[in-house]
Structure 1
Amino acid sequence: MKYRLLVALAISSLLLPALAQSQALTSLSSLRVRYNSLKVRTQPAGELKTQLDLLDAELAEAARLGQTGESRRLLAKGNVLLAGNTWTDAVDYANSLVLRSDRVVVDPADRYTVRLEQIYQPAIAISNALKARATLNRAGAGQQAALVVKDFGQFTGVSRDLRESPYFLDLDLADVADGNYQLHVEVVADTQVIGASDLLITVRQGLNALVAKLEQGAGSAPAEIRADILYPVDRMRQVNRGKLELRTFNPAEDFAAAEAVLTASAAGTNPFVGRSGDFKRHYLLESANEIMPYRMYVPSSYDPSRGAPLIVALHGLGGTENSFFENYEADFPRLAEQHGYIVAAPLGFRVDGSYGWGLGNAPVDPTVQFVQARSEEDVMQVLELARAHYNIDPDRIYLAGHSMGAIGTWKVAAKFPDVWAAIGMFAGAGAPATLSQMQHIPQYVVHGDADSTVSVEGSRTMVARMKELEMTVQYTEVQGGNHGDVVAPGFPGLFEFFNSYTKK
């Protein structure tokens, strides 16, 4: 029996999906989109379709009951089945493992403890004694031994039920240099690895002293730049608590930026006054008691004596305030400079915030409802901050987004229809019934007919209703276009479209 178990585990290891980066796990929204997109591409039939129909019903019930661990298990199972593989007890076990800690941004002077846990109870029966093996790798190195920075060795006495009894690993990082790392922990039965989990961490010497310096300095700084100084401290704490993924935070850049603001403040200057180009700002979202980032582009042609046009740009699912600046061939800020637009890009509270629920019904789940409400609030707060800091032409305020951001654009525009001069959506979907609320708003819509993430029907139905209402709409359907490759080529047309319209 023991031999058969180990053989099964060895075979199943070939079928495992990419390791989860624990702490703030990939959002369920992102996992659902990934699973649904794979279903669209695979077009399951026969027995596979029957299995997935049953799985979808179980997913709906898990969502209704708020069983997030079970939802993750079912989504992992669906992806394994869609890949043509078998969901075994061994694969089930491997997908249950996660690594967590009280912090993922670490001062190496502190003793570091991580917990090996399970997010759901797997079906497998394990009779073997379990051990853990831990290494610290360069971030992105995976399991390549040549890139191991430190081998922490082997740990004994790992529980077979890590939900009931998480396993604590005390690790010494005192000799680890500053940088980004991947902590890799394997679970071993005899000599066979039966599962593993990774945790991305950032090590920074002197972190504790730097935090104290920023907190003390912010106390005497002007209120209008206090959030810019405290942002990395607050964001680090939210990441450490698992509210946000580490990838939403760049400790090296964000701490350096905060120190620069503190230095300017100590010299009696506000470093953002008169600043042009690409930079980040921050503010306290009081309803969540979190400091939120937003990214700005101010063209070199900006003249405070004349009203400037403004675009509020909404990222897609899993994106951040950086998406419209760093993705899509970095065309958006270049075009903003060329056409003289100020750009404000909010995070939307969370990478999966959805920008509210528009004119629809609020989500039943109170946690989802809280996140979505804050997401919409973040968008409107950033708009007001841009208007407070710059001379914005009230008749030339625009809203645009891609994917979740396009869906959010249709929701936010319908809820606040008196704000926008025109709106632009790339690869989105909306509720045609809401169009009567924004009948006066010109709309620019782009979608690829080969989009497996958000069906082109989402835009087609909206555009069809717009035409029935005799609305102003420019629709481009890209033959063979997928979810992402239609965006950057559509940006020049978006700016030209916005140039043509002021608020009615």
Structure 2
Amino acid sequence: MKRFIVLLLLAITTTPLMAEAPPSVAMLNLFYNGMKARVTDDTIKTQFKDIDAALRDAFMSGRNGEVRRHLSKGMSLAIGRGWGHKQEYEASLIARTDNAFADPTLPVTIRLSQLFPVKAPVANDAPQTMLTAQFEDAPLRARVVLHEPPQRFNQPGKKLQEIADVPGLSSDLIESPMAYQFDVTDIEDGNYQIRVEVYNENGTIGSSGTPLFVRAGLNKRITALRAAAKEADESVQADILYPLDMMRKISHDIMAAGRFDVDAEIAAAEYIAVTKKPFKNKTGDFERHYYLEDAGEIMPYRVYVPASYKKGKRHPLIIALHGLGGNEDSMFARRYGMTALSEERGYIMAAPMGYREDGGYGAMGGRNTHRGEMSEQDVMNVLARMRDQYNIDEDRIYLMGHSMGAIGTWSLAAQYPDIWAALGPIAGLGDPATTQVFKHIPQIVVHGDADNTVPVGGSRAMVEALKLHEATVTYIEVPGGGHTNIAPMNMSKIFDFFDEHRRES
């Protein structure tokens, strides 16, 4: 089972987010595997074999610092930068602020530390020896610089101004991290990136950046929302407080900023706070939130209710699970076409966050991890809320997902086999040994035979196991199909399949 989990972590992927917070190990795997697939140099490919072996060992022993080091090395080799002491040092750096959402009335503190210790350089490695000279012969300093937000992952935006020059930087930022407090009074409202550049008289050694969102009057709006939530009906308190909780998680590096729009989210919360029963009889596409007690966090989930919804009539429900790096909005993207099909065919649709962008719905890392447990619980809580708030046909509850969401679909089917009327995993993999548990559930499986992200063998193995159990399964293997393009072209077929199947009595 451990081997299955490691292979799963090394395989799954989807479109990466433009986030400045440190990517999770699973997200780094996403980047590494995508870069590795494009390398043609045989010498580098040989090095990848050694890296992959070291990764498996580090994964199995739970040494996340070593995992990050090996992934950073693989990505550096993949883009032609090589790997020496300088590259290792730069990859280890991580900048953080005490509050990513700044009101100009209060100062901000930025810290620079390291994600993993940098190994001592090898004597005969000239680039590493040069860096050692930089450390030993000249004291380290740090420049704190304001930039525009990055347009691409790990690529700084335009430099706007230098905020400070900090002397006396330690060469070991794990033992002695840098901390510097600065004033944002003269910084205009906007989205920025604060970068810390480590340098000395021999040149720049490395840098790291973190997001900064400056908004005048932000603290007053936060205070007003907290007060409004106390007076609001309990059913909408989480909806009002969600942006505040998300801002806290981004500031503490619990969640990446990603596509979080602080202005839109606060405005939405303010509207809910002053509107009586804002979700009563609401149809169409909208977001809801609830408090996940065991995690101590507010979870978002996206909902679609067709215009044809009537309280007196039972309606089918689809729970849609996003891929790695996605969120509750991902399966609602126009390219999937799910909301249009839901409207056309009368389906209610709900897409949970799954606790984290790499939560795995109980599959990744196993259900015995906090992240996996919370991810699974989030999905089941959203299902319970949909059952409670809408007239759901209990014999027509469907589960589907893409990539990590497909992996989660098969995992949750094994854990809760009596709920689902049918399954729709797209470009996933699973544990064939579990198919005995949910062989009675009809399934439509979609995968491309040219998928370099989650190889088609994962679905083939699951389909073969299901057929051995004489399960009802429709398998669509798309010739030349990649990881992402196969989903939109087959979505109507998935809905057709759902139309045809009800839960067995």
TM-score scaled by structure 1? Answer: 0.88
Structure 1 CA distance, aligned partners of 2:259 and 2:371? 16
Deviation at 1:332, TM superposition (A): 1.5
Rate the CA distance shift 1:29–1:232 in 2: closer, same or farther, 3 A.
same
Question: What are the within-5 Å matches in structure 2 for residues 235-250 of structure 1?
Answer: 235-247=246-258, 249-250=260-261
Please state whether the residue corresponding to 2:258 is helix, strand or coil: helix
> Which range moves more in the overlay, 317-326 or 174-183?
174-183
Partner of 2:278: 271
Q: Check 1:474–1:146 CA distance in 2 against 1; reply closer, same or farther (3 A cut).
A: closer
Q: What is aligned with 2:161?
A: 150
Larger RCO (CA under 8 A, 6+ residues apart): 2
Q: Classify the secondary structure of the residue corresponding to 2:83.
A: coil
Contact 1:413 1:420 in 2 (8 A): yes
Q: Which residue of 2 aligns with 1:161?
A: 172
**Structure 1 contact 21–198 (Cα < 8 Å) conserved:** no
Q: CA deviation at 1:330?
A: 5.1
* Aligned with residue 149 of structure 2, among 112, 130, 139: 139
Q: The residue matched to 1:313 in structure 2 has which SS? A: strand
**What are the Cα deviations for residues 284-310 of structure 1, in whole angstroms up to 9, with x where unaligned?**
111111111001011111111101111
Corresponding residue number in structure 2 for 1:334: 340
Is the aligned partner of 1:410 residue 2:410?
yes
1:178–1:482 Cα change, 3 Å = same
SS of 1:439's partner is coil
Distance verdict in 2 for CA 1:215–1:94, change over 3 Å = same
- Residue of structure 1 equivalent to 2:426: 426
Q: Secondary structure at the match of 1:60?
A: helix
CA distance, structure 2, for counterparts of residue 214 and residue 322 of structure 1: 24
**Displacement of 1:342 after TM fit?**
0.8
Match 1:218 to one of 220, 229, 242: 229
How far does residue 400 in structure 1 lie from its aligned partner after superposition? Answer: 0.7
> Using the alignment, how far apart are the partners of 2:376 and 2:146 within structure 1?
39
Kept in 2, the 8 Å contact 1:141–1:182? The answer is no
Q: 1:66 and 1:462, CA in 2 relative to 1: closer, same or farther beyond 3 A?
A: closer
> How far, CA to CA, are the matches of 2:45 and 2:324 in structure 1?
27
How far did residue 42 of structure 1 move?
4.0
Cross-structure match for 1:290: 297
Structure 2, unaligned stretches of length 5 or more? 1-15, 122-131
Q: Distance in 2 between matches of 1:330 and 1:177?
A: 38
SS in 1 for 2:286: strand
**1:49 Cα deviation from its structure 2 partner:** 5.3
When residues 385 and 118 of structure 1 are mapped into structure 2, their CA distance, relative to the original with a 3 A threshold, is same
1:344: which partner in 2? 350
Residues 197-236 of structure 1: matches in 2 within 5 Å? 197-236=208-247
The CA deviation at 1:175 is 2.1
Structure 1 pair 146/446, CA: closer, same or farther in 2 (3 Å)? closer
Q: Deviations over 1:435-459 (max 9, x none)?
A: 1211221111111111111010001
Residue of structure 2 aligned with 1:93, choices 89, 96, 99: 89
Asked if residue 372 in structure 1 is aligned to residue 372 in structure 2, the reply is: yes
Paired residue type of 1:502:
R
* 1:351 counterpart letter in structure 2: E
2:139 to 129, 147, 160: 129
* Counterpart in the other structure of 1:15: none
Corresponding residue SS for 1:344:
strand
Q: What is the percentage of aligned positions where both structures have the same residue? A: 44
Structure 1 residue 462, shift from structure 2 partner: 1.1
Distance 1:353 1:192 in 2: 40
Following superposition of structure 1 onto structure 2, how do residues 41-56 of structure 1 map, counting pairs within 5 Å? 41-42=38-39, 48=44, 51-56=47-52
Deviations 1:96-139 (A, max 9, x none): 11101222122121101101111122235222222222222222
Aligned to 1:366: none
Gaps of 5+ in 1: 1-17, 364-368
Distance 2:480 2:392 in 1: 38
Taking the aligned partners of 1:349 and 1:135, their CA distance within structure 2 comes to: 33
The residue type equivalent to 1:182 in the other structure is Q
Stretch of structure 1 that moved more, 56-65 or 216-225: 56-65
Q: Which segment is superposed worse, 56-65 or 269-278?
A: 56-65
Which residue in the other structure is 1:176 paired with? 187
What residue number does 2:30 align with? 33
